[in-house]
Chain A
Amino acid sequence: MSAATIAATAAVTATATIAATAATTATTANAATAVTPRATFAYLLRLGDLSLVLAQRLGEWVGHSPALEEDLGVANIALDLIGQARMLLSYAGEVEGRGHGEDEIAFLREHGEYLNATLAEQPNGDFGQTIVRQVLIDAFQLELYERLAASADERLANIAAKTVKETRYHLRYSAGWLVRLGDGTAESHARVQSALERLWPLTAELFAADTVDRAMTDLRVAPPLEQVRSAWSARIDAILAEATLERPRDQSYAWFGKRGQHSEHLGYLLAEMQYMQRTYPGARW
Chain B
Amino acid sequence: MENKHQWPLYEVFIRARGGLDHKHVGSLHATDARMAIEHARDLYTRRQEGVSIWVVRSVDIVASDPGESAALFEPARDKIYRHPTFYEIPDEVKTL
Contact = CB atoms under 8 A, between A and B. Distances in A.
Given A172-B38, A173-B38, A176-B38, A69 B43 contact: yes
Contact-residue size bin, chain B (C-beta under 8 Å from the other chain) = 10 to 19
B15 interface: no
A180 B39 contact: no
B46 A180 contact: no
Which range holds the interface residue count of chain A? Answer: 10 to 19
A69 B32 contact: no
A69 B29 CA distance: 7
B94 interface: no
Given A67-B29, A69-B28, A180 B35 contact: yes
Contacts of A169: 41
A76 interface: yes
Contact of B34 (A68, A72, A73, A176): A176
B58 interface: no
Nearest to A74: B42
A72 B43 contact: yes
A73 B31 CA distance: 14
Interface core residue of A69, A172, A173, A176 (most chain B CB under 10 Å): A69
Interface of A: 67-69, 72-73, 76, 169, 172-173, 176, 180
22 contacts: A67-B7, A67-B29, A68-B29, A69-B28, A69-B39, A69-B42, A69-B43, A72-B39, A72-B42, A72-B43, A73-B38, A73-B42, A76-B42, A76-B46, A169-B41, A172-B38, A173-B38, A176-B34, A176-B35, A176-B38, A180-B32, A180-B35
